[in-house]
Amino acid sequence: MSGALWDMIQLVGERARRNTVLLMDRDNVEVFYSKVSDLENFFYSLDAELEYVIRPEHTFAFQIQRACELSNACVSIIRTCFDYKNENRLWYPPPEGLTPWYCQPVVRKGIWSVGSVLLQLLNDTSRLDRTAKLELYNHLEALAEVLLEAYSGAVTAKIEREEEHKGLLNEYWERRDALLESLYQQVKEFEATYKDSIEGAEELNEEATMKITSHLLSIAKRHGCYKVMWTICCD
């Protein structure tokens, strides 16, 4: 393992080491780092330590590579949890009023920190070619999907427990709108770029754009982002 994910795991391990008694000598520290299993610590470190993994002095391409690597890790972890829970749902107690661990604030904050970096990189259009922009778009869309599901689960649990949830709901809506509006803006830019494509590829490009738009529309519909839904339908 190498790159941004390995750097983040070392930061997670260092935090765990500070919070526990290190029961091994220095020669075994790599084993300790590689055995870290507390996923909440991983998401905590994404929020608290991300600036040490993706630095302004890194080249733009290197920042993109690292952001995409961490985004992929977040999405893989959350989707694996979704799949495991669905496959073994009979083992779990009734979900009413329970907040799954992947809906906890520490997890949402970690995912949002990575999403914020992706948003920033994606908006720096002057330094992005079409391939890099599409790669960032795909990672941000996947990350947005799991983040919004986490917010939805957290809000649902609070409602079922009859707890105050206005602040959480407003945060959910704010981040939903920021993510989905930015994603749709990128779709519009893809369309504009495709119109300038070489003759013969236009039909294929339009098909690709429609596929992207359709998936984005389904996310907007699932999370009640009516502004983006309306804009897509009008366009």
Question: pLDDT tens digit string along 69-91?
Answer: 999 999 998 998 888 777 777 76
Q: Provide the pLDDT for residue 13.
A: 62
Q: What share of the chain is helix, strand, coil (3-state, %, to 5)?
A: 80, 0, 20
Q: How large is the average pLDDT for residues 94-105?
A: 78
DSSP for residue 231: H
Q: 148 or 36: whose pLDDT is higher?
A: 148
Rounded Cα–Cα distance for residues 115 and 150 (Å): 14
Q: Provide the pLDDT for residue 26.
A: 44
Per-residue pLDDT tens digits for 199-234: 445 554 677 788 889 999 999 999 999 999 999 888
Amino acid, single-letter form, for residue 49? E
Look over the chain and give the mean of its residue pLDDT values, rounded to a whole number.
82
Per-residue pLDDT tens digits for 1-35: 457 777 777 766 666 555 544 444 444 444 444 44
Q: What are the extents of the domains in the chain?
A: 62-234
Contact 68, 136 (CB under 8 A): yes
Rounded Cα–Cα distance for residues 69 and 8 (Å): 11
Element of type H or E holding 84: helix 60-87
Which segment of 70-84, 107-121, 189-203 scores lowest on mean pLDDT? Answer: 189-203
Question: pTM, whole model, 2 decimals?
Answer: 0.82
Local confidence band at 185 (pLDDT 50, 70, 90 cut-offs): very high
Contact 164, 158 (CB under 8 A): yes
- Tokens matching residue 204: 């294929």
Percent with pLDDT over 70 in the chain: 78
With a cut of 90, say whether residue 138 has pLDDT above it: yes
Contact 74, 118 (CB under 8 A): no
Phi, then psi, of 58 in degrees rounded to 5: -65, 150
CA distances from 139 to 39, 58, 75 (A): 20, 20, 9
Rounded Cα–Cα distance for residues 209 and 214 (Å): 9
With a cut of 60, say whether residue 119 has pLDDT above it: yes
Q: Provide the pLDDT for residue 189.
A: 85
Contact 130, 193 (CB under 8 A): yes
